Amino acid sequence: MSKEFEAVIFDLDGVICFTDEYHYQAWKAMADGIGVYFDREINNRLRGVSRMASLEIILERCDEKLSDERKEELAAQKNELYKKLLVQMSPADLSDEVRNGLNELRARGYKLAIGSSSKNTPFILKQIGLDGFFDAVSDGNNITKSKPDPEVFLKAAEMLGIAPEKCLVVEDAIAGADAAHAGGMKAACLGDAAKAGAGDYNMTTFGDLLNIL
Please report whether residue 2 resides in a domain: no
Secondary structure class of 19 (helix, strand, coil): coil
* pLDDT given for residue 2 in this prediction: 58
Residue 19 pLDDT > 90, yes or no?
no
**Residues 179 and 197 occupy one common structural domain:** yes
- Nearest residue to 50 (alpha-carbon basis) of 93, 81, 13: 13
Q: Which domain holds residue 143?
A: 7-17+91-212
Which of 86, 111, 127 is a domain's end point? 86
* Reported confidence tier of residue 131, pLDDT bands at 50, 70, 90: very high
**Strand ranges across the sheet with 7-10:** 136-138, 111-115, 7-10, 167-171, 186-189, 201-202
**Residues 100 and 204 occupy one common structural domain:** yes
* Reported confidence tier of residue 6, pLDDT bands at 50, 70, 90: very high
Please report whether residue 1 resides in a domain: no
CATH number at residue 134: 3.40.50.1000
* pLDDT given for residue 189 in this prediction: 98
135 is catalytic: no
Q: For the whole model, what pTM was predicted? A: 0.85
Q: What angle do CA 86, 92, 95 make, to 5 degrees?
A: 110
* Reported confidence tier of residue 63, pLDDT bands at 50, 70, 90: confident
Kindly tell me the sign of the dihedral angle through the C-alpha atoms of 119, 55, 19, 105.
negative
Please report whether residue 52 resides in a domain: yes
- Residue 65 DSSP one-character state: P
Which candidate in 11, 149, 172, 178 is catalytic?
11
**Residues 62 and 95 occupy one common structural domain:** no
Which of 54, 86, 118 is a domain's end point? 86
**Residues 72 and 98 occupy one common structural domain:** no
Which candidate in 13, 139, 172, 178 is catalytic?
13
Is residue 142 a contact partner of residue 160, using CB atoms and an 8 Å limit?
no
- Residue 67 DSSP one-character state: P
Give buried/exposed letters for 71-101 (b at 16+ CB in 10 A, else e). Answer: eeebbeebbebbeebbeebeeebbbeebbeb
Which residues have a Cβ under 8 Å from the Cβ of 144 and sit 6 or more positions away?
A: 151
Please report whether residue 56 resides in a domain: yes
**Residues 25 and 78 occupy one common structural domain:** yes
**Residues 128 and 50 occupy one common structural domain:** no
CATH number at residue 53: 1.10.150.240
Please report whether residue 38 resides in a domain: yes
53 versus 10: which is more confidently predicted?
10
Sequence length of the chain is 213
* pLDDT given for residue 85 in this prediction: 92
* pLDDT given for residue 129 in this prediction: 97
* pLDDT given for residue 150 in this prediction: 97
**Residues 67 and 39 occupy one common structural domain:** yes
**Residues 169 and 153 occupy one common structural domain:** yes
Which of 86, 105, 139 is a domain's end point? 86
**Mean of all residue pLDDT scores within the chain:** 94
**Residues 160 and 207 occupy one common structural domain:** yes
Residue 48 pLDDT > 80, yes or no?
no
* Reported confidence tier of residue 132, pLDDT bands at 50, 70, 90: very high
Name the domain count of the chain: 2
* pLDDT given for residue 72 in this prediction: 95
- Residue 165 DSSP one-character state: G
**Residues 46 and 96 occupy one common structural domain:** no
Q: What angle do CA 155, 126, 145 make, to 5 degrees?
A: 30
**Residues 154 and 196 occupy one common structural domain:** yes
pLDDT tens readout for residues 133-167: 999 999 999 999 988 999 999 999 999 999 999 99
* pLDDT given for residue 1 in this prediction: 55
Residue 120 pLDDT > 80, yes or no?
yes
13 is catalytic: yes
E strand or H helix that includes residue 9: strand 7-10
Helices (H), the chain: 20-33, 40-44, 51-58, 68-86, 96-107, 121-127, 151-160, 174-182, 191-195, 209-212
**Residues 138 and 39 occupy one common structural domain:** no
Residue 59 pLDDT > 60, yes or no?
yes
Mean pLDDT of the 168-173 span: 96
